[in-house]
């Protein structure tokens, strides 16, 4: 098998964020990750276990024509592909060559808590000049990834693929495979991004409404209805164009570290079955992925085998992975097209029988729009706001005044009441306190805003989530709806959250293509343990776009205590999204069963992308003791509040 493996930004030149630079990348002359060379038969850097040495450092890069500094692993961005084998005990030594502390988190892996790689929570971090040795058994197989959990190093390049080979045969066959790692790159200091968003929540949103948009809406629905709709959004101080916080206004979207013009290429022979291991390793970008002309057969979701489902397109949230089989039968090139959810740019690569070939890049779809259904506005939730989700509505304003930037501050752990030995050197001030190597510090970050808790809306509802028998249900911190509505960190509480697992999401539903939904996923094998949960905890995903703070039930991280879970307990987490944004929620240390109505075949995942106004649930077995992170994987959401911990003991 072939394992080929400042000031407000002006609207960017289209060629910059759509194409990037043909020669861009991380030091190709230095022999780093070079997708073009890989297409010509030179494999990407691959490290195999059980003993691996990694070195984290800083390196100049040029993605857009501007020289910047990236945080890299073994001189590469993304880092080398690490291939380990299920059943092996591995030793990975990580040397820190930066001038600041660092870390590596092994995303989605089941391992001992001290090896999870969250500074201040599971270990002290890796100080400059020091080497930390990770030792853990490989208990699973599939497509995973690794990234820093220190500050914003993940945004500046510290991420890479992690492939765990199964001991036995897989339930699907293929002839060759490629890793396809999607990321977002910015030339800005991440501290500047957060400062800009603190001052104006829609700073990077260039799709605001125009008079022409209002006129077009009035033509479709009548002037009265168009004005009513616009005023409704204005009163809520929200915008149907609130799709992504950070957009192509600052981001260039990459495939394996390459911008679109570099045309990273994967080779095949006509008639071969090719496995594409998709990893969304971006900081803030949700991608909609398709390969025009080819069916996509999903065989794994978050590295767990699922019953194969064939689609034309799928949405991949931040930190999710999907393994996809394609069978190009003709002697032609195909474009791998991953457009950002807000359609502000795209990542692009090529599948081709020969190097140097390229296929037509399809036009981006119209920008999606939120509706009142996304906001859970009670009786208005069913109103689909015809025209709001069409490209003609080129943008709508938040109606927000600029807010002063929040002052810098280290993360306050004083409210946690944790034993000192559980929190060795807890340094979440570094979550956002990290600057890109060579750049100034994260002066604008408000880590006092990192938040937590949940509210009690009763047992999970809907057929997919109905409890079998009485299951104790509670909010993790006893926060009431009334308290949330008065909370200045919460600008909206959904009146009617819905089961939306059968929806692909805004911009995908009804686009004429077969699009994957969570309801399509079924585990390839039934779960051995089908006991009902011992209890249930609810969490509301909340935010305030004017303050630009995010959290669980409106509480700051410093105001919330760890969520206690008994070792051996089976727990259901219910998530209710009260915000305009999708939130990819990740629980460290465990795989969980997403309750999508498949019963014993509910799919296992480590990250779930929760839509606006969506109510969903998952169940996990707390079989590994430790202090585990539980957070939104949108990096700047985590940095400004959407972070909790789960204490299993």
Reply yes or no on whether the pLDDT at 416 is more than 70: no
**How many CB atoms lie under 10 A from the CB of residue 497?**
24
Burial code of 203-234, b = ≥16 C-beta within 10 A, e = fewer?
bbbbbebeeebbebbbeebeeebbeebbebbe
Query: Average pLDDT for residues 187-197, to the nearest whole number?
Result: 95
SS3 53: strand
Measured between alpha carbons, how far is 79 from 536 in angstroms, rounded to an integer? 39
Token pair for residue 15?
């060629």
Burial code of 319-336, b = ≥16 C-beta within 10 A, e = fewer?
bbbbbbbbebeeeebbbb
Measured between alpha carbons, how far is 118 from 144 in angstroms, rounded to an integer? 17
β-pair partners for 519:
none
- Helix 211-221 × helix 223-236 angle, to 10°: 130
Domain with CATH 2.60.40.420 in the chain: 2-170, 414-648
Residue 546's closest CA among 242, 231, 248, 209?
A: 242
Sign of the Cα torsion 183, 189, 190, 193 reads negative
Pair 188, 252: CB distance under 8 Å: no
DSSP 423-454: STT--GGGTTTPPPTTSPP-TT-BGGG-EE--
pLDDT band at 31 (very low <50, low <70, confident <90, very high): very low
In angstroms, the Cα distances linking 23 to 263, 346, 370, 614 are 10, 18, 37, 42
In this prediction, residue 212 carries a pLDDT of 62
In angstroms, the Cα distances linking 216 to 77, 190, 235, 254, 392 are 45, 37, 21, 35, 7
Question: What's the predicted TM-score (pTM) here?
Answer: 0.82
488 Cβ partners below 8 Å, 6+ apart? Answer: 544, 547
In this prediction, residue 369 carries a pLDDT of 86
pLDDT band at 106 (very low <50, low <70, confident <90, very high): very high
Q: Which fold, 2-170?
A: Immunoglobulin-like (2.60.40)
Measured between alpha carbons, how far is 511 from 146 in angstroms, rounded to an integer? 34
What are the backbone dihedrals phi and psi of residue 132, each rounded to the nearest 5 degrees, phi first? -110, 140
Measured between alpha carbons, how far is 134 from 359 in angstroms, rounded to an integer? 43
CATH superfamily membership of 414-648: Cupredoxins -  blue copper proteins (2.60.40.420)
105 Cβ partners below 8 Å, 6+ apart? Answer: 116, 117, 118, 146, 147, 148, 149, 588
pLDDT band at 208 (very low <50, low <70, confident <90, very high): low
Residue 504's closest CA among 292, 296, 315?
A: 315
Mean pLDDT, all residues of the chain: 81
594 Cβ partners below 8 Å, 6+ apart? Answer: 501, 518, 521, 602, 603, 604, 605, 608, 616, 618
Sign of the Cα torsion 64, 69, 72, 76 reads positive
DSSP conformational letter for 544: E
Measured between alpha carbons, how far is 602 from 409 in angstroms, rounded to an integer? 42
Burial of 365 (0-12, 13-18, 19+ CB in 10 A): middle
Total number of residues shown for the chain: 649
Measured between alpha carbons, how far is 44 from 173 in angstroms, rounded to an integer? 23
Pair 80, 160: CB distance under 8 Å: yes
Given the structure tokens 């399809």, which residue do they identify?
362
DSSP-based helix, strand, coil % in the chain, nearest 5: 15, 35, 55
Burial code of 558-567, b = ≥16 C-beta within 10 A, e = fewer?
bbbbbbebee
Residue 484's closest CA among 553, 401, 416, 582?
A: 553
SS3 486: helix
In this prediction, residue 203 carries a pLDDT of 72
What are the backbone dihedrals phi and psi of residue 334, each rounded to the nearest 5 degrees, phi first? -130, 140
Residue 392's closest CA among 228, 221, 579?
A: 221
For 302-341, what is each residue's pLDDT tens digit?
999 999 999 999 999 999 999 999 999 999 999 999 999 9
Reply yes or no on whether the pLDDT at 219 is more than 90: no
Q: What CA dihedral angle connects 539, 544, 547 and 552, to 10 degrees?
A: 0
Range with lowest mean pLDDT among 95-99, 232-236, 288-292, 368-372: 232-236
Range with lowest mean pLDDT among 489-493, 538-542, 563-567, 602-606: 489-493
Token pair for residue 412?
């306050």
Query: Average pLDDT for residues 266-277, to the nearest whole number?
Result: 98
Pair 517, 609: CB distance under 8 Å: no
Token pair for residue 415?
């409210």
For 461-481, what is each residue's pLDDT tens digit?
333 343 445 788 777 778 888
SS3 35: helix
Measured between alpha carbons, how far is 304 from 316 in angstroms, rounded to an integer? 15
Residue 374's closest CA among 365, 362, 383, 366?
A: 383
Range with lowest mean pLDDT among 11-15, 348-352, 424-428, 631-635: 424-428
In this prediction, residue 224 carries a pLDDT of 74
Measured between alpha carbons, how far is 212 from 205 in angstroms, rounded to an integer? 18
For 138-164, what is each residue's pLDDT tens digit?
999 999 999 999 999 999 999 999 999
Measured between alpha carbons, how far is 50 from 158 in angstroms, rounded to an integer? 21
pLDDT band at 389 (very low <50, low <70, confident <90, very high): very low
Please give the span between the terminal C-alpha atoms of the chain, in angstroms, as a whole number. Answer: 44
SS3 112: coil
In this prediction, residue 557 carries a pLDDT of 81
pLDDT band at 445 (very low <50, low <70, confident <90, very high): very low
Sign of the Cα torsion 249, 638, 113, 108 reads negative
């Amino acid at each position: 098998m072939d394992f080929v493996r400042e000031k407000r930004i002006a609207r960017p030149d289209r060629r910059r964020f759509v194409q990037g630079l043909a020669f861009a990348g991380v030091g190709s002359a230095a022999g780093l990750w070079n997708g073009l060379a890989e297409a010509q038969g030179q494999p990407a850097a691959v490290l195999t276990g059980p003993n691996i040495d990694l070195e984290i450092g800083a390196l100049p890069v040029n993605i857009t024509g501007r020289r910047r500094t990236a945080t890299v692993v073994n001189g590469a961005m993304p880092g080398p592909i690490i291939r380990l084998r299920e059943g092996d005990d591995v030793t990975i030594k990580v040397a820190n060559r930066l001038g600041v502390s660092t870390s590596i988190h092994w995303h989605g892996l089941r391992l001992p808590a001290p090896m999870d790689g969250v500074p201040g929570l599971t270990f002290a971090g890796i100080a400059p000049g020091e080497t930390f040795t990770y030792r853990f058994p490989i208990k699973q197989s599939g497509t995973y990834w690794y990234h820093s959990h220190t500050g914003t190093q993940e945004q500046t390049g510290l991420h890479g693929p992690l492939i765990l080979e199964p001991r036995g045969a897989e339930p699907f066959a293929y002839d060759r495979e490629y890793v396809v790692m999607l990321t977002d790159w910015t030339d800005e200091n991440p501290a500047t991004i957060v400062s800009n968003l603190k001052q104006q929540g829609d700073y990077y949103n260039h799709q605001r409404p125009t008079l022409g948009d209002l006129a077009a809406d009035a033509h479709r629905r009548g002037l009265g209805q168009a004005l009513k709709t616009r005023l409704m959004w204005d009163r809520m101080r929200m915008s149907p164009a609130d799709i992504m916080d950070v957009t192509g206004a600052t981001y260039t979207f990459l495939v394996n570290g390459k911008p679109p013009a570099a045309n990273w290429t994967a080779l095949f022979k006509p008639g071969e079955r090719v496995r594409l291991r998709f990893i969304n390793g971006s900081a803030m970008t949700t991608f909609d992925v398709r390969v025009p002309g080819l069916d996509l057969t999903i065989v794994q979701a978050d590295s767990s085998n699922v019953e194969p489902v064939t689609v034309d397109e799928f949405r991949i949230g931040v930190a999710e992975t999907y393994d996809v089989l394609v069978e190009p039968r003709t002697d032609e090139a195909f474009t791998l097209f991953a457009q950002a959810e807000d359609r502000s740019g795209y990542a692009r690569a090529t599948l081709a029988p020969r190097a140097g070939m390229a296929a037509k890049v399809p036009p981006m779809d119209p920008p999606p729009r939120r509706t009142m259904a996304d906001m859970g506005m009670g009786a208005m939730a069913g109103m689909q706001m015809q025209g709001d989700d069409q490209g003609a509505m080129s943008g709508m304003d938040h109606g927000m005044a600029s807010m002063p930037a929040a002052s810098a501050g280290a993360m306050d752990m004083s409210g946690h009441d944790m034993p000192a030995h559980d929190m060795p050197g807890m340094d979440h001030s570094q979550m956002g306190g990290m600057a890109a190597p060579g750049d100034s510090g994260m002066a604008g970050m408000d880590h006092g805003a990192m938040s937590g808790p949940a509210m009690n809306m009763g047992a999970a509802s809907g057929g997919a989530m109905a409890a079998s028998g009485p299951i104790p249900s509670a909010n993790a911190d006893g926060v009431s709806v009334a308290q949330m509505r008065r909370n200045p960190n919460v600008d909206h509480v959904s009146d009617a959250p819905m089961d939306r697992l059968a929806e692909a999401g805004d911009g995908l539903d009804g686009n004429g293509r077969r699009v994957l939904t969570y309801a399509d996923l079924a585990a390839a094998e039934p779960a051995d343990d089908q006991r009902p949960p011992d209890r249930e905890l609810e969490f509301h995903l909340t935010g305030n776009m004017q303050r630009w703070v995010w959290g669980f039930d409106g509480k700051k991280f410093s105001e919330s205590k760890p969520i206690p879970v008994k070792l051996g307990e089976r727990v259901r987490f219910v998530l209710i999204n009260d915000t305009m944004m999708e939130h990819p929620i990740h629980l460290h240390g465990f795989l969980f069963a997403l309750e999508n109505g498949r019963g014993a075949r509910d799919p296992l995942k480590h990250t779930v992308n929760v839509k606006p106004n969506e109510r969903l649930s998952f169940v996990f077995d707390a079989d590994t003791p430790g202090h585990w992170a539980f957070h939104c994987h949108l990096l700047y959401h985590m940095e400004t509040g959407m972070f909790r911990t789960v204490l299993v003991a």
